[in-house]
Amino acid sequence: MNQRKALITGITGQDGAYLTKLLLDKGYQVTGLLARRSSDTLWRLRWIGVLDKIDLIDGDLADVTSLMRALEKSQPNEVYNLGAQSFVGSSWDQPLLTAQVTALGALHLLEAARIVDRSIRIYQASTSEMFGLIQEDRQSEATPFHPRSPYGVSKLFAHWSTINYRESFGMHASSGILFNHESPLRGIEFVTRKVTDGVARIKQGKATELRLGNIDSTRDWGFAGDYVDAMWRMLQQDEPDDYVVATGRTTTIRDMCKIAFEYVGLEADKHIVIDPKFFRPAEVEVLLGNPAKAKAKLGWEAETSLEDLIHMMMDADMERVGREA
């Protein structure tokens, strides 16, 4: 049997690193699309131990010709589109860039695959931020969307483009509507990692306070290592479809902070400072996913609790901060 091949956009991100490890463990040949936009983009792949086991191709979601060349060179059976400007806060400051990369980038990839090889199976990374101003207490695949940020709007364009190419051209294109998922590889700009890094600094005497915005908004947080397995399962199905991927449990940022502080023997209330500059122009107050379809059709469910996830992240950040001069 021929070795299966996968191309991953956004391979240098959190999900890209965990998905790469998963696919390599399953015997895939993995190629990553490398958009050179910052200095050291490879640290996650190095941290997880896969950098020397993959091929990297220069390319950018904003450049459809580079995507076509990447598909022709890597000849993948599966493509996972994880590339995006994915920080919600930054999308307010860079709405056009977010639209060009996150929205049009997905369309570029779909069009490139349509031209090069329609048999390629495509995974599109959708997001719970598309629900935004929620229309139902628990959000499922049937819940109406109402995005509340340029990021959410861009992801919704990409999501519907995926459905459109599936229905128009018979392509095996699926979307995973992933709720918040975290890990030790999460970027420092995201609130969970900001919290665990901040708590580690306070514990080790390198800081005294943790400045946050709205800590009463609630999220459905899971472990990225669990969620990439759902991505892979979607592309193994006979028919493409869209799936909510979530834990089904919601927690406030305030309570998430308490888990982190208590893990190292500190009291959250003594160190958290509410800073208005971290509030968003339009807030998404509550997100709670209903993953029943993913469980029924994919046989997938989250395995890592929020407590175990935060403890895992705290251990990694305590070690990182401890190594700093």
pLDDT for position 267: 95
Same domain, 76 and 89: yes
Same domain, 231 and 259: no
Give the active site residues.
127, 129, 151
Pairing of strands 5-9, 29-34: parallel
Would you place residue 86 in the very low, low, confident or very high pLDDT band (cuts 50, 70, 90)? low
Domain count of the chain?
2
Kindly tell me if the per-residue pLDDT of 276 is higher than 90. Answer: no
Same domain, 127 and 15: yes
Same domain, 226 and 216: no
Same domain, 319 and 207: yes
The domain of 256 spans 187-220+250-286+304-323
Would you place residue 220 in the very low, low, confident or very high pLDDT band (cuts 50, 70, 90)? very high
Q: What is the CATH number of the domain that holds 255?
A: 3.90.25.10
Please check whether residue 296 lies inside any domain of the structure: no
Asked if 141 and 257 count as a contact pair (C-beta separation under 8 A), the reply is no
Alpha-carbon distance of 253 to 272, in angstroms, equals: 11
Same domain, 238 and 276: no
Same domain, 111 and 229: yes
Same domain, 145 and 277: no
Same domain, 168 and 210: no
Closest by CA to 194, choosing from 89, 99, 106, 295, is: 89
Kindly tell me if the per-residue pLDDT of 178 is higher than 70. Answer: yes
Q: What is the CATH number of the domain that holds 49?
A: 3.40.50.720
Would you place residue 91 in the very low, low, confident or very high pLDDT band (cuts 50, 70, 90)? low
Mean pLDDT, the chain, integer:
93
Would you place residue 12 in the very low, low, confident or very high pLDDT band (cuts 50, 70, 90)? very high
Task: Write the pLDDT tens digit of every residue in 125-164.
Answer: 999 999 999 899 999 999 999 998 889 999 999 999 999 9
Please check whether residue 108 lies inside any domain of the structure: yes
